[in-house]
Structure 1
Amino acid sequence: MNLLDWLVLLGTLLFIVAYGIYKTRGSQNIESYLMGDNSLKWWTIGLSVMATQASAITFLSTPGQAYESGMGFIQFYFGLPLAMVVLCIWVIPLYYRLKVYTAYEFLEKRFDLKTRLLAAFLFLIQRGLAAGITIYAPSIILSTILGWSLNLTILIIGLLVILYTVSGGTRAVSQTQKQQMAVMMGGMVVALLVLLAKLPEGVGVRDAVAVAGNMGKLNLIDTDFDLSNRYTLWSGLLGGFFLSLSYFGTDQSQVQRYLGGRSIAESRLGLLMNGLVKVPMQLLILFIGAMVFVFYQFYQPPVYYNQPHLQKVQTAEAQQELIQYQQQFNRLFEQKREAIDAALAGEEGWEPVQQLQEEEKTLRQSVRDVITTANPDTDVKDADYVFITFVLNYLPHGLIGLLLAVIFSAAMSSSAGELNALASTSVVDFYKRVIRQEGSDHHYLLASKGFTLAWGALALLFALTARQFENLIEFINIIGSLFYGTILGIFLVGFFFRRIIGAKVFYAALISEATVLAIHFFGDIEYLWYNFSCILVIALSWIFQQAGVFSSRK
């Protein structure tokens, strides 16, 4: 990075923060702070919904996911548009009619207080963990690549987010997210164009697509019905549908985005915009990852992308092994490059290329084994470092600063939405409902800001003490899947099973959540299927109702 990159990076971030504070000055009551005075237009809602979901992990891990495993991850989003339609028809009108601040207020009106508090508590657990991860994930990668202190990077992201979120509340989050989405998507499109322009002379877009396709990176659909296969058409349509239904319909970080709309119509249009744009957006990001893979078929890639991990290997024997593997890798790269050129020219088929690719995978695994032997506590998965390595090594100055601003902006946008929602749930569902029911509007405004600050501090604390996990975008989705199914089950009973009362669904939810956690820690089912625990909640609630157990006043 040079001076231009720093100016672009810092200028972009400071402008977004200052814009959010300026546009939301004068928020003097809790309705303005938590609901944005119900003044948001549909495109602001749509962009805000997408920005809250599109964390920095999206822009770091998703290209690496495509580089490593191909574009099949897109199947994860197949159920999302269907979920948006369901929410627009049934859920949004209900929330508007009840005039709720949070989604969980509905549950007390429908069931009882303990059911409301259970769902809100499950939300606070999973979203509180996610808030820390959305700060930590980009920080550990950026600090590693740029040579910064990890704690300093975490503090920079976290403090900027806390500053404008505490200051302006929901309106600040939504206003800044419009700018952040423009930076994010503009930066990614420019990165793709520069990437394609940097391909060798004579290698066009059609050739790049041919290389990616024949090397297994463009396989979008897997029709096998296999519970142990993470991404298939069925896990995406079914598990993804229930996950999206729960996330956008019951997760306060999303519900709060569209409850601030001017009207039911504006909120519906905002969600439908998300349903129409989200899949193409993720497809674009995955395609960028596939094109980065193609780029590295023509330009020498590192044998291992997380270079600081290699530098931590100190023993002479291990270093010698790494040198030998690097030499073998360089020879393999030249052979594969020649085989690709021959295949593109029609002189040979793609089988030699695919065979050399398998040899390269084996070699990369050998390097990981050396690193693990030298430093057993090191997480050797390096797919999250692929895209940022390309950005720093091959993009022109100025654009490097812009792409880093993309990553920081994504971290800030998702974290701000989470902190805002955590504060809303804490104040409305616990503090105002259980602890202090007769406070003034100004008191609850101060309490909202205090809870925002407190959750921000907790997220920072978790980020500062966290450790790296598997592919980060998957880890976020795993956290959500552990809880979303149960929460969704409670809401579905409330929406569609009018005869089932509170105590039944409360105990059904407890049993279902315990079942999901047991399956996660002791079973062998991929996480998207956890979201079917909503069916278990419904089934148990109905059984308890029919059996007459768990009596209740309601």
Structure 2
Amino acid sequence: MIICFFSLKPAPIYFNERSYQYLKETQPQQAAAFEKEHDVLAQKFNQQSKNILVEKKKQSPSLNSSIENFKSTQKQVKELHGRVEEAINKSNYNAEKTDTNYIFLYFVKNTLPVGMIGLLFAVIFLASWGSISAALNSLAACSLKDVHLIFGKKEVDDETELKYSRLHTLAWGIFSIAVAMFATQMGSLIEAVNVLGSLFYGPILGIFLVAFYFKKINGSLVFIAAILSEIAVVAVYEFDIVSFLWLNVIGAAAVIMFSVIGLLFANSKTVADR
């Protein structure tokens, strides 16, 4: 919807306003040339998009040529954006190399009424804090209960366990910050979240499906199947065989397949031993 909005309304030359302002201050002549070219292309781009809507409604025979002209202008706008982005990146002002994550923020800040802007940003912050809190709590609980305390040499009292849980939470917080800093280099954060999630969501879903529908398969077989499935998912992603969204399906199906194969192998071995 935002793409459609900026096809009919003027879009900025660069959505990260702070980075572009730095370019204007450090290289005013280059920025002025960019803005002059952008004004011409933006006016042309928006007018052509409106003409396409009118011609489509009237079923005009010149619709195809108008679409081709629009695509040509769109390509020029994209090339200009690339040159602006390259100029900003050369200054090393910002660690983020693209302005993809600022498109929605720019839309909210410059389009919605004042009250809605504050309300929407408050909702975003509150939702983020809730998700982060739940994630850190879950990660710390799993690493403490399923790894630390199980493999620990001696039992600990409640006070010591609380101290360990805080240390685990701190460790996972540092890890999450490192992952977030890495994700900023992956372009769109929405895509980055889906890419990273697709690497793990499929096997996790497969484990639950096996637990629900394949009661005879024990935990050891499922654990081995999950490890093999994760290796398969990473291999598919590295070789870029299919779109990353399919990794969820592949991971879930692989866990089921490996679990069933493991069960059949275990049963055949039991029969052979008898």
Bin of the TM-score, shorter chain as denominator length: 0.7 to 0.9
Partner of 2:14 in structure 1? Answer: 304
Contact 2:140 2:169 in 1 (8 A): yes
Partner of 1:391 in structure 2? Answer: 108
Cα-to-partner distance string for 1:449-473 (whole Å, 9 max, x where unaligned): 4433332243235445653323211
- The whole-number CA distance in structure 1 between the counterparts of 2:116 and 2:218 is 57
- The whole-number CA distance in structure 2 between the counterparts of 1:309 and 1:367 is 16
- Tell me whether 1:481 sits opposite 2:191 in the alignment: no
- The whole-number CA distance in structure 2 between the counterparts of 1:398 and 1:424 is 39
Contact 1:305 1:389 in 2 (8 A): yes
Pair 1:426–1:382, CA change in 2 (3 A): same
Cα-to-partner distance string for 1:192-240 (whole Å, 9 max, x where unaligned): xxxxxxxxxxxxxxxxxxxxxxxxxxxxxxxxxxxxxxxxxxxxxxxxx
Identity between Structure 1 and Structure 2 (%): 32
Partner of 2:51 in structure 1? Answer: 339
Which residue of 227, 234, 256 corresponds with 1:538? 256
Cα-to-partner distance string for 1:19-52 (whole Å, 9 max, x where unaligned): xxxxxxxxxxxxxxxxxxxxxxxxxxxxxxxxxx
> Secondary structure at 2:161's aligned position in 1?
helix
Contact 1:504 1:541 in 2 (8 A): yes
Pair 1:493–1:402, CA change in 2 (3 A): closer
Partner of 2:34 in structure 1? Answer: 322
Pair 1:381–1:363, CA change in 2 (3 A): farther
- The whole-number CA distance in structure 2 between the counterparts of 1:435 and 1:469 is 38
**1:302 is aligned with what amino acid?**
P
**1:358 is aligned with what amino acid?**
K
Pair 1:383–1:67, CA change in 2 (3 A): farther
> Secondary structure at 2:128's aligned position in 1?
helix
How far residue 323 of structure 1 moved from its aligned partner, in angstroms, is 3.6
- The whole-number CA distance in structure 2 between the counterparts of 1:529 and 1:461 is 26
- The whole-number CA distance in structure 2 between the counterparts of 1:297 and 1:502 is 53
Partner of 1:144 in structure 2? Answer: none
Structure of greater relative contact order (alpha carbons < 8 Å, 6+ residues apart): 1
Pair 1:381–1:527, CA change in 2 (3 A): same
Partner of 1:155 in structure 2? Answer: none
**1:67 is aligned with what amino acid?**
I
- Tell me whether 1:370 sits opposite 2:87 in the alignment: no
- The whole-number CA distance in structure 2 between the counterparts of 1:491 and 1:298 is 46
Matched positions, count: 260
- The whole-number CA distance in structure 2 between the counterparts of 1:417 and 1:429 is 18
> Secondary structure at 1:524's aligned position in 2?
coil
How far residue 482 of structure 1 moved from its aligned partner, in angstroms, is 0.6
- The whole-number CA distance in structure 2 between the counterparts of 1:299 and 1:498 is 57
Contact 1:485 1:533 in 2 (8 A): yes
Aligned pairs for 1:223-302 within 5 A: 293-294=4-5, 296=6, 299-302=9-12
- The whole-number CA distance in structure 1 between the counterparts of 2:155 and 2:204 is 29
TM-score (norm 2): 0.75
> Secondary structure at 1:527's aligned position in 2?
coil
Q: Output the aligned Cα RMSD.
A: 3.7
- The whole-number CA distance in structure 2 between the counterparts of 1:318 and 1:447 is 55
Higher Cα Rg, which structure? 2
**2:165 is aligned with what amino acid?**
S
Pair 1:466–1:495, CA change in 2 (3 A): closer
Which residue of 67, 79, 87 corresponds with 2:2? 67
Contact 2:13 2:35 in 1 (8 A): no
How far residue 356 of structure 1 moved from its aligned partner, in angstroms, is 5.4
TM-score (norm 1): 0.40
Partner of 2:169 in structure 1? Answer: 452
Partner of 1:404 in structure 2? Answer: 121
> Secondary structure at 1:525's aligned position in 2?
coil
How far residue 318 of structure 1 moved from its aligned partner, in angstroms, is 5.7
**1:499 is aligned with what amino acid?**
K
Aligned pairs for 1:56-135 within 5 A: 66-68=1-3
Unmatched runs of 5 consecutive residues or more in structure 1: 1-65, 69-292
Contact 1:325 1:363 in 2 (8 A): no
Which residue of 211, 223, 237 corresponds with 1:494? 211
**1:329 is aligned with what amino acid?**
L
Contact 1:422 1:452 in 2 (8 A): yes
Contact 1:485 1:534 in 2 (8 A): yes
- The whole-number CA distance in structure 2 between the counterparts of 1:503 and 1:474 is 34
Cα-to-partner distance string for 1:225-268 (whole Å, 9 max, x where unaligned): xxxxxxxxxxxxxxxxxxxxxxxxxxxxxxxxxxxxxxxxxxxx
Pair 1:528–1:460, CA change in 2 (3 A): closer
> Secondary structure at 1:300's aligned position in 2?
coil
Unmatched runs of 5 consecutive residues or more in structure 2: none
How far residue 324 of structure 1 moved from its aligned partner, in angstroms, is 4.8
